[in-house]
Amino acid sequence: MTGRQALPGGQALPKFFAPGRRGRLTALAGISVTAGLLAAGTARLVSLLSHGHDPAGAILLVGGLVGLVAATFGLRVFERRLAEKLGQDYVHEIRKELIRGALGPGRSPSLGITIARTSNDLNSVRNWVTHGIAGAVSGVPLILILTASLWLMAPPLALAVMVPLIGAVTLLAFLSRPTYDKARALRKARGRLAGQITDTVNAATAVRAAGGEDRELGRVDRLGREVAAAAIDRATLAGSLRASAIGAASTTAVAVAATGAFTGMDSGLIAAALTVVSMIAAPVHDLGRIVEYRQSYRAACRSIAPALSRPAADTTPDNSVDGDFAGLVVAGLDVDGITMPGISAAPGETILLETPDHAYTEMVFAALLGLHPAGLHPGARIVLNGRNVPAMNSPERRQSIGYAARGLALERGQLRRALRYRSPDADDALYATAINRAGLGATIARLPKGELTVLRRGGEPLSTPERAKIQIARATLGNPPLLLLNHIDADLDPQGMTALRDILTNYPGIIIAATDDSSLLPHPHRTWPGHHHKPPPSDKRHPVHLETSHRGHTPK
């Protein structure tokens, strides 16, 4: 556990100063101190070398200088490697949290926004950690050590360095706020453009059919110009930050040389001081980048943090009085402000879900899957075989509930993985049964690589009916107690419809199906309406047992 650090608005990013990263930061600080001491030693040797020496002494001094430079080189290489590890570790943790949020309950962000967050925004986080935090940890101690060494050499030279640095820090602080504003404006513009491009590409067929190519290109062009304008504004301020730091570094060299000349200091001392200034120049240059990366990071956090927020965990205890009931009990289910009638079902029953529209159907199925427990009434219950569905973890849910829906995209990976996705450990017999039951045998046989075929872009190279059959096969793999079918018949071909009818007739568990063709369902079946008026309070406490019979039997 790393903890979390709060941000404006109540959201939080993973805590940066976690145990593993604290060690790397300490190592960076140690490298900086060591590099500062090496630099001070280098300046001292330069001062000694500027005075007359015999050839042997000069060779020793030059050898010492070469050794110090080589050691400094090695330290800098190790420092960059360590800083990159630090940044990549933190970004990797945030990236996983972003994807977890996109896969979690609630309204998922658009694909374009998700890509922008996991690329541009995370790149800003990585720059801040790798070049900002690591740069400050390694650069500031170096500047302080070298300035202190100058003070020991000659206080006037140290003052000549400090005055330009103080002026640069003041100017950088003044420019930081407008830099943040421009970074936020650029991120908003990029987000709008990413969302527009993603939606346009996804709707390409509809756009072409309606002859709207020029209109969509016009919108992309307008949003692209907004991104360009925002990027130019931000680059202007970023250039000002970097120019301020570079100007400060150059000014320190001029100030040291002028101070030494005006005060008549020894040439060796001036040479040593200029050596120190040359070593200070790099971390001083980085000050402008550190401020720039800091403001870009703050702007990125305003986009990332809301995506990392989590809904409140369900704390409803599993104290159902129907704990021993082998079947499904639903009571007090509130969906979009409408309370569904309570219902109970035993294994072997089929229920037709009737709702006002497809959007409402999606919400009902999401509730039945336990993906939106926060939207339930405090007294609501969804109990399957005595277990509270909203309180199930992911492995428990996938073993208990199978779900197949029209238009669902398949995950990238081998066909075999897609079929076993809900139940990866299912034995070969159950796996073969699911394939044959869904009518996928011929499909797998015709593919050159069979089950090893890699599916991309939501299921290519399979056709829509073949993808629907995969949805059915994996939803029924292992005969989960509850099978949810959301208009899957709309994507099936005649062969698939035949397989679906057989499943609906012979499935041993409970089936809740939404379809526009109720003739697919076996008779008798019962209907669970979702558009009726809100039931009386008693209905919320006790599920409504609609008179019906099990699949394949006649009602009593």
**Residue 533: pLDDT band by 50, 70, 90 thresholds?**
very low
Coil vs helix vs strand at 227: helix
Nearest 5 degrees, angle CA 291-CA 142-CA 161? Answer: 80
Average per-residue pLDDT in the chain? 79
With a CB cutoff of 8 Å and minimum separation 6, the contacts of 489 are 497, 500, 515, 517, 520
CB 401, CB 385: distance < 8 Å: no
* Average pLDDT estimate for 243-270: 85
**Amino acid (1-letter code) at residue 375:** G
Cα(330)–Cα(535) distance, rounded to whole angstroms?
14
CB 319, CB 371: distance < 8 Å: no
pLDDT of residue 15: 81
- How is the chain split into domains, by residue range? 15-308, 328-541
Q: Work out the number of other CB atoms within 10 angstroms of the CB of residue 314.
A: 17
The dihedral sign for the CA sequence 476, 479, 484, 487: positive
Residue 477 is given by DSSP the state: T
Cα(414)–Cα(89) distance, rounded to whole angstroms?
29
**Residue 484: pLDDT band by 50, 70, 90 thresholds?**
very high
**pLDDT tens sequence across 330-389:** 888 877 777 788 888 888 889 998 887 888 888 888 888 887 654 455 667 888 888 888
Residue 313 is given by DSSP the state: P
Cα(129)–Cα(89) distance, rounded to whole angstroms?
10
> For the packed helices 464-476 and 494-506, what is the interaxial angle rounded to 10 degrees?
20
Q: What is the CATH number of domain 15-308?
A: 1.20.1560.10
* Average pLDDT estimate for 204-217: 82
C-alpha torsion angle, residues 505, 511, 513, 518 (rounded to 10) = 30
Model confidence at 4: pLDDT above 80? no
**Residue 528: pLDDT band by 50, 70, 90 thresholds?**
confident
Coil vs helix vs strand at 296: helix
CB 260, CB 270: distance < 8 Å: yes
* 253 HSE (CA, 13 A, CB side): 14
With a CB cutoff of 8 Å and minimum separation 6, the contacts of 53 are 61
Cα(364)–Cα(387) distance, rounded to whole angstroms?
19
Omega of the bond leading into 461 within 30 degrees of 0 (cis): yes
For the domain with range 328-541, which CATH number is right: 3.90.180.10, 3.40.50.300, 3.10.450.630, 3.50.50.60?
A: 3.40.50.300
**Residue 419: pLDDT band by 50, 70, 90 thresholds?**
confident
Encoded tokens for 526? 């019962």
Cα(248)–Cα(254) distance, rounded to whole angstroms?
10
**Pick from 314-328, 443-457, 469-483: least confident:** 314-328
How many whole angstroms from its chain centre is CA 360?
28
Query: Among 404, 363, 364, which residue's Cα sits nearest to residue 486?
Result: 404
Q: 272 phi and psi, to 5 degrees?
A: -65, -40
